[in-house]
Amino acid sequence: MNVYSRPIVFLVLAIVVISVGTLVTTFIPLFAKTTSTPIDGIKPYTALELAGRDIYVREGCNNCHTQTVRPLKFETDRYGDYSRGGEFVYDRPFLWGSKRTGPDLAREGGRYPDAWHYQHFKDPRALVPDSNMPAYGWLEDTQVDPAVAEKKMAALGFPYTADEITALNGKTEMDAMVAYMQKLGRDFKEIMAAKNAQAAMPASALSNPYAGNKSAIEEGDDIFEVNCASCHGKDLKGGIGADLTAASLKFGGTDADLYASITGGRPGGMPPFKDALGDDKVWRVVSFIQYVRGGGEEAKEAGHGGHH
């Protein structure tokens, strides 16, 4: 039978196919465990984080930033591990998005310390010179209203206590936005970090293949300026991040210690760079840092001045 010559039959078959496709792609996932059950370790938003999420939507941030990493190599290389459905159980609605005028934020939590985000919202170009993001410094002028937050939470069914609502007193919209940024993907990254730590090689067993290599030090200088200088300063003397020229570092100053900190990140805000840089580039950065710490070329001519 040629269905193309029978419009009524063709129409009925088309409706059946579309209905089946809609059922499979839309309704069945609603009841799938992977999308309706949170991954073990994923926690609901705190009162402050949820207030920040509402501000994020209000200001249209989701029009420029996505919040999902697709399972494609070029995406995971840039943004980190791909997104799982169980990460978003507490999102109402989802903010996955489809347009990236700005970078994806699915793994933003813990990537930078709080101080970085405060500065970035006030003056994006101070930290990312090519950014076209508008400044949001005025968020510091408006306080979060605990009464409004309580009504929203009651509607969403989040089980916050009176103490958690009271803790919103004195918090600004800027505080809420920073808290929300630090929440994005943070739980999942902590879950994966704990798993990876179990299989990681002890830092004490690592050795730097580029120790003292002048060419590697020069390349490490360039890599550091692009990835690290905004927090640690071009002269390595700190700012948002730690002073790397200090005689003693609280996390240790050996090659293995620096490697572990760069690849795995540090509690309190420093993101892990293992996926973004890879071992080879990390060791070059370590070589550069140790060269400056040792006073090489008058501490790299006081902050890259002679090289750049």
Q: Which residue has the tokens 């499979």?
A: 24
pTM for this model (two decimals): 0.66
pLDDT, one tens digit per residue, over 97-108 is 988 999 999 999
In this structure, are residues 113 and 240 in contact, taking their beta carbons and an 8 Å threshold? yes
What are the tokens at 20?
């089946």
pLDDT at 257: 87
pLDDT value of position 251:
81
Q: Provide the pLDDT for residue 32.
A: 62
Tell me which of 1.10.760.10, 3.30.70.250, 1.10.3720.10, 3.40.190.10 is the CATH number of domain 200-304: 1.10.760.10
Per-residue pLDDT of 168-208, as tens digits, reads 999 999 999 999 999 999 999 888 877 766 555 555 557 89
pLDDT number for residue 306? 44
Q: For domain 47-196, say whether CATH 1.10.10.1150 is its number.
A: no
d(CA 239, CA 233): 6
Long-range contacts of 147-156 (CB under 8 A, 24+ apart): 149/47, 149/50, 149/51, 152/50, 152/54, 153/47, 153/50, 156/50, 156/92
As a whole number of Å, the CA-based R_g of the chain is 24
